[in-house]
Structure 1
């Protein structure tokens, strides 16, 4: 059954239909992925005068004083978090919500003054992240991208099947053969590049889908969420760790986003909140080096120290850690580290760093080459189709001569539809389009098939 010409045609046809939908999304994901990888690097180079202090001395002002400088400069704004560095030459950076904008505000802790600020909301990174995740159309875009990503897994399976050499042929030769000209050259280029990046593309699909609203939000993320309420005596009924993020910037560990935020105990009469310097000192005493301090949300809120690959604070996921401090007593309410994650969350912690090119130059180069390879796959697929199609026809791959054989492709489609629910929607639409509409209209069928 799997080696018949009719089955091959069924697989080819599904590969074509999936590609028809996926190509514009994959191009968008590759381009915005490159922007997200390089924009933070470019920003630091362009604004080195803000990220770095002018001169290091032995007497920096306290964190409370740095906080007060920002509060005085932005009196009607909300200070969201503080970035703490282990490099003495780094300026102190605060994240401040200024109206509808969120800004990075830099303080030279040695000169005791604000150096300047940069808009986060209007940055290329936030634009790329919003496009990458929702196509800038909210939940509808999220669903469309989830279907496309699920279909990409179908493309990988069908592509590997069609590439697989016949009995007696060398796998190495099939994986390195690029020759001929015209459509044959584009076909070889498409198949060879595709087979070399197949596993990496599958990894990017799975790690990307973990952020999607259905497969990620309703399934694996919900299942992987750490039960903070088992560690903390009191948790919020309305706030989750996701509320620590700002629009367009995910910085809280993936497996904590859906977990409720702990709450501080009731203050003793006349007791003030602990100082920012106390929070930073306690975090450093617990082993934090590069980390963020999230400020309490409301009277029952907590100080939260996070160091994670998601927040780009660290590159080694083994050091992922989130600690909540009571804002009045300073006691540790909850302490969640990498070893507390389940196996999928651990994979995500490492996968995020790989996905964003955080493991050094080799990772940046690998991610760049991968994104370029994905773009080449999209272009070569479209060129192949264009060169193959007859004039004035869409030219989908031919239908199986025995249409009953079409159902055999279900063996390849069934696992995808069971694992990724949004893929099922796309498959149903394609079946309705191809079998119920076009197959019953002779004029359209001439153009289509």
Structure 2
């Protein structure tokens, strides 16, 4: 059955229909992914006067004093986050929530002055991230992208099947040979060679990307993988989760904690501990590079996070989040990489790889991969265009197998994907229905037109 021509045609037909929907999304995801890889580097390069201080001395003012400087500069706004400078010559950064969005505010700790601010909400990274995740149309875009990522899994499996060499043929030759002939044969070989080399990486990117999606991620894998904060902290919020520590356009909280409720301060006191107190305790507990999130209300907590998701560290195994009581300074919860379940651990490492955070080699690999995906999509479109009948304005899909039983066998072949990815199941059922309707109605219209 699997070796028959009818089955091959069925798989090719599925590959075509999946690609028809997926290709525009893959091009968008690869392009915005490239933008996100380099936008932060570009921002630092364009704003050295904000990220770097001119003169480094031994007389830096305290972090609490820097916090008060920002408060005085933005009296009607709230400060949500502090970034520990990575080097003495770096400015201290705070995140400030305003009515118009989120700002990144820079402070010179030696001169004791605010250097300026940059918008996070309107940054190139924020635009690319919003497009990458929701197509800038909210939940509808999220669902559309989830369908595309789910169908990409189908595209990978059918693509590898179509590429697979016949018995006795060299797999290495098939994975490295591109015809020198012009025309569709060249583009077919280019498409096949790129596809088979990026297949595993593309599958990895799909799974790690789907883990952020609202259905497969939010309702299934992330909900199941979330750290049980209520078992660790004596008191947790009924309304606020770790995801509330993120700002729009910038996810910096570890994936396995996003849906976990935030602990609450249990001690009572007239004043909170200082930012310097939190930073000193975090350093004593082994933190090196990290962020501090400020309490959100009277029973809120100070939260110190060091994670690859927040781009504080490059090694996911060093992920760590600690919550401090805002009045007593006592540790309410301490969650590290080893406390995650196996899927959350995989995501901590996978997201770092996905975002190119493991170093220059990772950045280069992601760049090559994203560029290859764009070329893969473009070559597929060119190959389809060259296969079309001259002057035809139809989609011109691969022909329906004469033996429809083989088409049904191909559908059974897709069931594992349907079970694993609910949004893919909806798309597959829709394609089957539309294809049957089209093949039933089209001949009648042709006969009617002929009369």
TM-score range, shorter chain: over 0.9
Equivalent residues of 2:264, 2:299 under 8 A apart: yes
1:355 alignment partner in structure 2: 354
The aligned counterpart of 1:322 is 321
In structure 2, what is the equivalent of residue 117 of structure 1? 117
| Structure 1 ranges of 4+ moved more than 6 A | 443-446
Deviation digits for residues 36-55 of structure 1 (CA, Å, limit 9, x no counterpart): 11000000111111111111
The alpha carbon displacement at 1:412 in A equals 2.4
1:100: how far off? Answer: 2.2
Listed one character per residue, the Cα deviations across residues 173-193 of structure 1 (whole Å, up to 9, x for unaligned) are 000010122000000000000
Once the two structures are superposed, the pairs formed by residues 5-404 of structure 1 within 5 Å of their partners are 5-179=5-179, 180-268=181-269, 271-391=270-390, 392=392, 393-404=394-405
**Which secondary structure state, in structure 1, belongs to the residue aligned with residue 214 of structure 2?**
coil
- Answer yes or no: is the 8 Å Cα contact 1:106–1:115 preserved in 2: yes
Normalising by structure 1, we get a TM-score of 0.97
Residues 267 and 328, structure 2, Cα contact 8 Å, conserved in 1: no
Deviations 1:421-443 (A, max 9, x none): 00011111111110123433227
Q: Aligned partners of 1:225 and 1:359: how far apart in 2?
A: 24
The answer (yes or no) to whether the contact 1:154–1:413 under 8 Å persists in 2 is yes
Of 428-437 and 144-153, deviating more is 428-437
CA–CA distance in structure 2, aligned partners of residues 429 and 86 of structure 1? 52
**Residue deviations 1:130-169 (CA, integer Å, cap 9, x gap):** 0000000100100000000000000000000000000010
Match of 1:25, SS state, is helix
1:176 counterpart SS class: coil
Q: Which residue of the partner structure matches residue 417 of structure 2? A: 416
Decide whether the 8 Å contact of 2:267 with 2:325 is kept in 1.
no
Residue 272 of structure 1, CA deviation: 1.5
Report if aligned partners of 1:153, 1:202 keep a CA contact under 8 Å in 2.
yes
Name the SS of the counterpart of 2:333 in structure 1: strand
Rounded to whole Å, the distance in 1 between the matches of 2:360 and 2:302 is 34
Asked if the contact 1:26/1:375 (under 8 Å) is kept, the reply is yes
1:193-245 CA-to-partner distances (Å, cap 9, x unmatched) read 00000000000000000000000000000010000110101000000001101
Q: Deviations over 1:82-129 (max 9, x none)?
A: 001341111100000121211100000011111111111110100000
2-side partners of 1:394 and 1:353: how far apart?
A: 39
In 2: Cα distance, 1:31 partner to 1:86 partner? 29
For residues 444 and 134 of structure 2, the distance between their equivalents in structure 1, rounded to whole angstroms, comes to 37
| Maintained 8 Å contact 1:82/1:292 | yes
Tell me if structure 2 keeps the 8 A contact 1:295–1:304: yes
Query: SS where residue 324 of structure 2 aligns?
Result: strand
TM-score w.r.t. the length of structure 2 is 0.97
Preserved contact between residue 438 and residue 445 of structure 1 (Cα < 8 Å): no
C-alpha distance in 1 between matches for 2:412 and 2:431:
17
Q: For the structure 1 residues 9 and 117, does the alpha-carbon distance in structure 2 shift closer, same or farther, using more than 3 Å as the test?
A: same
1-side partners of 2:20 and 2:411: how far apart?
19
Counterpart contact for 2:85–2:93, Cα < 8 Å: no
For 1:185 and 1:110, how far apart are their aligned partners in 2? 62
CA–CA distance in structure 2, aligned partners of residues 173 and 27 of structure 1? 28
After TM superposition, the structure 1 stretch with the greater mean CA deviation from structure 2, 232-241 or 350-359, is: 350-359
SS at match of 1:214: helix
Secondary structure (helix, strand or coil) at the match of 1:144 reads: helix
Q: 1:96 to 1:25 in 2, by over 3 A?
A: same
The root-mean-square deviation of aligned C-alpha atoms, in Å, is: 1.2
